[in-house]
Amino acid sequence: MDLIEPISDLFKCVCSPICEYFDYYRKLDENMEELDRVLRELESKKKDIEATLSRAEREQGKKPSNEVSDWLKNVQRINTKAESFNQEVEKGNCFSRACLGKDVEKKIDVVMGDNGMTLSTTSNLVGERTGKIVEEIWEDLMGDKVSKIGVWGMGGIGKTTIMSHINNKLQEKPNKFNDVIWVTVSQPLDLIKLQTEIATALKESLPENEDKVRRAGRLLGILKAKAKVCRSMKCKQVAVELLSKQEAFNLFIDGVGTNILQVPALNKEIINEVVEECGCLPLAIVTVAASMSGEEEIYEWQNALNELRGRLRSLNDDVQAKYDRGHTILNRLVNCCLLESAKDGSCVKMHDLIRDMALRITSKSPLFMVTAGLRLLKFPGEQEWEENLERVSLMENDFEEIPSNMSPHCEILSTLLLQHNKYLQRIPECFFVHMHGLKVLNLCHTSIEVLPNSVSDLTNLRSLLLRWCGILKRVPSLAKLLALQYLDLEGTWIEEVPEDFGGEVLRETVEEAARLSDRLDTFVGYFSTLNDFNIYVKSTDGRGSKNYCLLLSASGKRGFLEVDKSVRLFACKICETEETIVLPEDVQYLEMFGVDDVASLNDVLPREQGLVNIGKFSHDLKVLRFLYCRNLKNLFSLRLLPALQNLEVLAVGYCFLIEEIVAVEDEETEKELATNTIINTVTLPRLKKLHLEDLREFKSICSDNGVLVCNSLQEIEVYNCPKLKRLSLSLPLLDNGQPSPPPALEVIEIKKELWESLEWDQPNAKDVLNPYCKFWRGN
């Protein structure tokens, strides 16, 4: 027994090197194949990184870091050495083959090390964090001091990605581990299932090798868990932090494509807002970036932002959010070829085959009734109104009436479309009695005279559309419609008030609409008298609907209102002796068309001691349009300027007496203008479009000494203004004192002869602006 231990030690000293020698000899060919594979993989990753670097430099102007440059040079050196090494192996003898076999394994370790670096190098383009964490874990695993490592962090932060990289590296031989397994622990913990998975991975069976499997479970090398679990298992803890804002933005742009930064309709602000909502979580960023890749329309991005913020889960969404959502849905249907877009982009339509398929699908569940556009004379019988009916479209038919005794039992009916039934005059009182689930009722362009009282009991009604119901005499009380969000009365007014309805019905209807408006998303209304218009505005008391379109037209003519929070005054008197028009405080779009009793916007504002009071006048005004106002002399005075700082569009056309835009309203101000250079500067910081057309007496934007500062200006259009002498624009100055064009300027449309005759306050101004001119020859 005393000799056994020394002999054993001698055997280890002699036999181990011999065995190792023959092992190297025997494995040379195998190791050479492995080295060739690793070198090919390394070269492939080198090309990928070079392509990424080239794209980043070309599109974003980024340069590779020193670490990346050094790595690329090192790969080149390895390739050169590998080529000469191959030549040595080809002519090697028996002894040298063993030595070369050992060198090959060393070369593989070197190349594998550099190959692993590609992970850090690649991630360096969007943030070095993942690569550094992987390298840290790998170093601990290959060492002898750490047996268990726990990776923890928020969901979606990249823990699984890190584990995947480690697992892939462990699959590449050689390394210190004989067995590498990946198991997932369920919640709650199922120990038997876990042991079975481990046994299967180790190719062992239970219960014969239960002890071995349990030991494997206890000797688990690396796990992904919560911080508390990592502490309880006495792991070395590796915390994965959130990305920085710049890393998050870079990762997002890498996923969505750098071309998105060049899309004119988008700006970096909305892209940043979308990235910010991802919370610096890599999973969220990558997922959202993939969904937004190729999307170039602003409403797609606005809708994505709304969804990320969770706004669409609320019933109090604003109209813009719904608009964006609707356009996004339509766009996706078009992209899926379920809808066809018109050539001018104004509408979408369904192909006949798709429509037939949709009708077949909805002939059972969900159940729809659709007879749109068939020009039917007879209204569908009550037997066709089944109890499980959900949506009905009877638009564009020729019904004259609904049978007097018809009362369909359709409690889950949500949508009823009757628009463009131009002969439909009567709806029986009992018709809506069993439709308590109704949410959308559309009666636009019908000849309905009286809206049944049962409509007021539709407590789930959200949208009531009565546009262009030209002879509607009466609507019931709408006070109980607490779910109502959209009320459209454009082009509709109560033509007559019968005696049996009472003399105050009209006024009560206007006031009731005003009271309702504070909980409406949108109100669209037509008013035939200034009195009714003012009743509505005063009754809202600053609490009106989020969006509105108000049209005042004494002539009976109607028009289309283009934007939210808009007022259009058409061929009416708004400065009568008894009263002056009252404008909503938050109006954003104001158009006067054929309003002849105003000489200036100042005329429609209340006055105190002869001076204009702008205390409650809208500071939200974005669009001003004056067309065919025959007695208009100017648009506004200097005292009104503070209320116009958000103005974006200013358009004046066919106002034949107007001489200037901005006027001096009193002698005192006129004297100050002659000596004070500050007062004569008119600043409209957000003005983007200036349109002047057919102004026969128009001479200048400001008085002789005034200048207009509007550095956001994009378009200037001047047509048929023969007496125009100066545009009065004050251009921004460069560091050398020379004028430069407004940064956003795109075009100046004007007649060449007029352009050449204009006078300028700043030297070289004409030369600076000349490249933006688009001359026209028309009359």
The pLDDT value given to residue 481: 84
* pLDDT band with cut points at 50, 70 and 90 for residue 59: low
- What are the CB-based long-range contacts (under 8 Å, 24+) for 52-61? 52/122, 52/125, 53/125, 55/258, 56/125, 59/258, 60/258
Of residues 730 and 479, more confidence is placed in 730
164-181 average pLDDT score: 78
The pLDDT value given to residue 493: 64
| Burial degree of 421 (CB within 10 A; 0-12, 13-18, 19+) | buried
The pLDDT value given to residue 477: 77
The pLDDT value given to residue 126: 39
The pLDDT value given to residue 556: 54
| pLDDT beyond 90 at 179 | no
pLDDT per residue as tens digits for the range 508-521: 566 666 666 666 77
458-477 average pLDDT score: 86
| pLDDT beyond 60 at 214 | no
Kindly report whether the global pTM for this prediction surpasses the value 0.75. no
The pLDDT value given to residue 723: 92
The pLDDT value given to residue 9: 40
pLDDT per residue as tens digits for the range 351-378: 777 788 888 888 888 999 999 989 999 9
Residue 101 CA to residue 23 CA, distance in Å, equals: 8
The pLDDT value given to residue 64: 63
| pLDDT beyond 90 at 309 | no
| pLDDT beyond 70 at 340 | yes
Residue 19 CA to residue 17 CA, distance in Å, equals: 5
Q: Helix or strand or coil: residue 735?
A: coil
Beta strand residue intervals within 520-672, DSSP E: 522-527, 547-553, 566-570, 589-593, 607-608, 611-612, 623-627, 636-637, 649-653, 662-663
Q: Distance between terminal CA atoms of the chain?
A: 122
Residue 465's identity, in one-letter code, is L
Give the bridge partners for 652, in sequence order.
Answer: 626, 692
Question: Per-residue DSSP letters for 168-233?
Answer: HHHHSSSSS-S--------SS--HHHHHHHHHHHHT--TTTTHHHHHHHHHT--EEE--HHHHHHT
* pLDDT band with cut points at 50, 70 and 90 for residue 152: confident
Of residues 692 and 673, more confidence is placed in 692
* pLDDT band with cut points at 50, 70 and 90 for residue 626: very high
Residues in the chain: 779
> Before 207, cis peptide (omega within 30)?
yes
Whether 465 contacts 475, CB under 8 Å: no
Q: Please state which of the ranges 308-317, 647-656, 733-742, 759-768 shows the lowest mean pLDDT.
A: 308-317
The pLDDT value given to residue 146: 79
The pLDDT value given to residue 542: 63
pLDDT per residue as tens digits for the range 265-306: 788 888 999 998 888 888 788 888 888 888 888 888 988 888
Two tokens, residue 215: 């030991």
| pLDDT beyond 50 at 751 | yes
| pLDDT beyond 60 at 259 | yes
| pLDDT beyond 50 at 75 | yes
The pLDDT value given to residue 361: 86
The contacts of residue 445 (CB under 8 Å, 6+ apart) are 419, 420, 421, 422, 467, 468, 469
Whether 705 contacts 680, CB under 8 Å: yes
Give the bridge partners for 726, in sequence order.
Answer: 700, 759
* pLDDT band with cut points at 50, 70 and 90 for residue 505: very low
The pLDDT value given to residue 218: 38
- The pairing of beta strand 149-152 with beta strand 222-224: parallel
pLDDT per residue as tens digits for the range 541-592: 666 677 888 888 876 555 555 557 889 998 888 886 677 888 888 889 999 9
- The pairing of beta strand 222-224 with beta strand 236-239: unpaired
| pLDDT beyond 50 at 463 | yes
757-769 average pLDDT score: 88
Mean pLDDT of the chain: 76
Residue 155 CA to residue 726 CA, distance in Å, equals: 63
The pLDDT value given to residue 163: 82
The pLDDT value given to residue 5: 39
The pLDDT value given to residue 483: 86
| pLDDT beyond 90 at 718 | yes
pLDDT per residue as tens digits for the range 441-453: 999 999 998 899 8
The pLDDT value given to residue 532: 83
Of residues 751 and 326, more confidence is placed in 751
pLDDT per residue as tens digits for the range 584-617: 888 899 999 989 888 888 887 765 544 455 655 6
The pLDDT value given to residue 231: 74
Of residues 470 and 315, more confidence is placed in 470
B/e letters for 587-612, b = 16+ CB within 10 Å, e = fewer, are bbbbbbbbbbebbbbbbbbeeeeeeb
Place of tokens 């090494």: 85
610-629 average pLDDT score: 74
* pLDDT band with cut points at 50, 70 and 90 for residue 380: very high
The separation between CA 194 and the C-alpha centre of its own chain, rounded to angstroms, equals 45
Give the bridge partners for 650, in sequence order.
Answer: 624, 690
